[in-house]
Amino acid sequence: MRLSFALTAALTATAAVALTATGASAAPGAAPAGTAARPGVCQEKALRISASPGGQRHVARIAVTNRGGSACVVDRIPTVTFRGLDGSAEPVPPATSGAYVLSPGERGYAAVRTAAPGTTEGHVVRTLSVAADPSHHGVTFGAAAVGMDRGIRVWEPVSTLWHPSRAAADRALADATR
């Protein structure tokens, strides 16, 4: 019993030292002393989402703008879905959800390839929807808004992560889809 008590005391002391050394707080979700709290998830009404032609066949550019007064977080993977089809565009490179912080007035850019150039496979849909965070409803865009007047051909669609510039998103799509 005495050994158990001594072991528990030693582990508690070690944890306390580790927390102090890293600046971590014992309270779950609390920010370390001397640091600002991590921004919360952006409210959907504080965001503006836009879409435009991507300059290549089967490619659309999307953007998200933080119109709010403080920094907030969207998922680093835009959620791009297509009317009448299950699933969403896969991120390239493959990635898991994570935080992408947008300061007030800041934009994030991504590129979406709905089908490989020249493909005749897949489905043709009239709309695509974009959400900056999976918890949001998103905004729906017609085929003409993204430069696909004859409809949006969907076959193995992919999307880049959010990037700080349109050029960076375009490069990421080109690199990932070679």
Average pLDDT for residues 127-138, to the nearest whole number? 96
CA distances from 172 to 55, 97, 131, 140 (A): 15, 17, 20, 24
The model's pLDDT over 40-53, given as tens digits with 9 standing for 90+, comes to 999 999 999 999 99
121 pLDDT higher than 50: yes
Alpha-carbon gap, residue 142 to 159, rounded angstroms: 18
Name the pLDDT band for 8 (thresholds 50, 70, 90).
very low
The pLDDT score that the predictor gives to residue 19 is 31
Report the sign of the C-alpha dihedral through residues 134, 75, 95, 59, in that order.
positive
Contact 106, 100 (CB under 8 A): no
Average pLDDT for residues 57-80, to the nearest whole number? 97
Global pTM?
A: 0.78
- Residue 100: which of 163, 12, 20 has the closest Cα? 163
Per-domain boundaries in the chain: 44-176
Name the pLDDT band for 131 (thresholds 50, 70, 90).
very high
- Top mean pLDDT of 8-12, 22-26, 57-61 is at 57-61
> Could you confirm whether domain 44-176 is CATH 2.60.40?
yes
